[in-house]
Every structure is written in structure tokens, then in C-alpha cells.
Structure 1
Amino acid sequence: MSEFIPRSARHGRRRSRGNDDTWEWIQALAIAVVLGLIIHYLVLTPFSVSGPSMLSTLHDGDLVIVNKIIYKFRDPKPGEVVVFHATEEKYYIKRVIALPGQTVSSYNDTVRVNGRSIHEPYIDEENLTEDFGPVKVPEGHVFVMGDNRMNSTDSRSPELGPTPIDKIVGRADLVFWPLRDFQVLW
């Protein structure tokens, strides 16, 4: 038969129950903070959308969760919404349209990759895409565009151009605030 030995007796000293509870809460809180920091800096991070370039998918002020680890295991895919460093101080959020080695263009409001029209269910009918290209995406880069094609600084602009893959912070996975805009983005 097993005998119950109180924890205080096992440690050879007696502490009051209040001190044990306080110490356990401090330990739990410390572990939660450390795990939260690890997750925030290495895995997931919140990002605030600024501007109208991703309308109607994302709105100015939306908060999204960015998956920072996914591209350590695989490359971006067409249709994914990514956050990247446009400059040292500025982050942009755009949609991947074409991959390294592909040729992208637009004619009569239809975006084409390697000469084939792509299906873009995230674009509103009245949202027009100006003609451009063809542009061959360099190795190590992706071609990104905002969903609000008439009001987006993206890979079509000479000052930005195709985005280096190593400048991508991660994939936007989820809009979590405001709640009325809640959605999964993949």
C-alpha cells in the first residue's frame, strides 16, 4: 500500500500553503511569458494593415497573424498573402502572383503567368488591373501585387520591383481584429 507524503515533508521544510501557491503562480507566469516571447519572435506575430492596397481582402487597421516560420520549410506559393520588408523601416503586405523564373503580365484586366490567365477570386469585378509587362521574375524573387490594383505600390512599380524572398517576413494567415473582418487567409 502506498503512503501519502505531503510535498512540504518531502522537501524537509515546511512552507505555508499561500507561499506554495504564490511561487507556483510566479513560475507559471514566467513560463507563459517566455513561451509567448518565443512564439512572438520566432513563430507568429501580429501585424497591422496600413492603407488601402489590399482592399477588399484586408482593410486599413486590420490586425493579422503572420506565420514567420512557414518559409523556413518551403517557398511562397501563388495566392498567398505575405508581409515583407519594402525598405529597412517599412513593411508591405501583398499577394504572391508569380514565382522565380515565371513571366507575368496583364492585358485587358487579366493577369497572366507564363501566358495563362490566373483565377483571382479575391479581386472585385470593378477593380481593374492596368496593362503591364511582360516581366520575368528573377531567381530568388517573387512578384507581388495588392488586391486593390488601382491603388497599390507593388512589384509593378519600378521603385519596388519583384520582392526578394529573403525579405519576406512571413505569410499572413488570419485576420483577428476587428472581429467583423475575422477570416483565414489561406
Structure 2
Amino acid sequence: MEEKIQGKQKSEFWEWVKAIAFALMLTFVIKQFLFTPVLVKGASMMPTLEDHDRVIVNKIGPTLQSYDRFDIVVIEMNEETNYIKRIIGLPGDKIEYKDDQLYINGEKYNEPYLDQYKNELKDTGTLTYDFTLDQNLGETTVPEGYYFVLGDNRRVSNDSRNPEVGFISEEQIMGTTNIICWPMEHIDLRFN
């Protein structure tokens, strides 16, 4: 009888080990290939994303299709640093900012996600300074396989306007994000 109980306990123990191992493996696969949480560090995407917000990165969708203009993406700059920025320019686009207005291929584009910051400016300056790709990066258009990205908080964002950051290759992009999962008061499933 004791042997039967010990055998049952041993069998139950191995079932638990297998279940835990499966759960860990599933978690690894989901985090590595499907979705992963990322901590927002800094104010470069305010007011859309705030410092210490936690977002979920979707790694699936972009691999099945290309990225779209105005997608918010997580970019792997190096092994320790990720940036979260908004795609403004697609491959082949000519980007220009003039009088706080975005022009892509000569066409004027509205950016409603910047309205809050523009309305709160305390000085008479602009939120986004005037520039062209040629002035900042020495290119007239976004190269094939690359994107031009900006942070929503244009005065403090280190983004594609800076030659040290420059154009972002498709390989650097971990995925898109449109879910804030923490803190509770910031939870949002489809922010812009």
C-alpha cells in the first residue's frame, strides 16, 4: 500500500514538473516570437506614452505585412537600449517640416496626436523645428528598407532627425505597440 502511495506521489510530481516545464516553454515562445512587455523610459512619446508605462509589443503582425505610417514601434537600438517612436516616413518618402507642419512627398499631413502638446506650449516657438531629410541626414528620401521615426514629444525626442540615430532599418524594429497594460490608470487598448 505504501509503495502504491509513493508511486502515485512520484507520478503526480512528474506531472507537475511536465506542466511547469510546458508553461515555461510556452511563455518563452510567446515572449520571444509573439508578444512581449516593454517599459517606456523617458518622455519622448508624451503625451501618448508616459515614462514608466508598460506596453505590449506585437511581434506577429508586422512580420506578415509592412509597417504603416504613424504606427508606434519598438526599436532595438542595441542590446541594452530600445526606443519607442512613431513611424513618419516610409521607404521612398520625402519628409519635410515647415512652420510646425508635416509634409510627406509635398502633401500636408495632420498629426492629431500632437494637438495636446501644441496647445500647451508656453512659448511662441514650434513643437517641431523646421527640417528636411537632406538638411539632417544628407538624403532626399527615406532609403529602401528603412523608416524615418519621430517621438511625439518633439522637443526632447532623440529620433531620426539626429544623424546618430538616423533612419531605422526594418530589422531593428521589434514590432508595433498599441496596448498600454500598466499602470492601471493608463490602460488603453488602441491609443493613437
TM-score tier (shorter): 0.7 to 0.9
The aligned counterpart of 1:3 is none
The residue correspondences of 1:13-162 to structure 2 (distance < 5 A) are: 21-123=12-114, 124=116, 125-126=118-119, 128-134=127-133, 135-162=140-167
Structure 2, unpaired ranges of 5+:
122-126, 134-139
What is the aligned residue count?
174
Deviation at 1:42, TM superposition (A): 1.2
TM-score, normalised with respect to structure 2: 0.82
The aligned counterpart of 2:169 is 164
Structure 1, unpaired ranges of 5+:
1-13
Deviation at 1:85, TM superposition (A): 2.1
RMSD: 2.1
Moved more, 128-137 or 145-154: 128-137
Distance 2:22 2:178 in 1: 26
Q: Quick check: which one's helix share is greater?
A: 2
Deviation at 1:67, TM superposition (A): 1.2
> Which amino acid is the alignment partner of residue 31 of structure 2?
H
TM-score, normalised with respect to structure 1: 0.84
SS of residue in 2 equivalent to 1:149: coil
Identity in percent: 39
Distance 1:28 1:160 in 2: 44
Mark the structure with the bigger radius of gyration.
1
Distance 2:108 2:149 in 1: 16
> Which amino acid is the alignment partner of residue 25 of structure 2?
V
Q: For each residue in 1:137-161, what CA deviation from the matched residue of structure 2 results, as whole angstroms up to 9, or x when unmatched?
A: 1111011000001110111112111
Matching residue within 173, 177, 182 for 1:177: 182
> Which amino acid is the alignment partner of residue 147 of structure 1?
D
The aligned counterpart of 1:11 is none
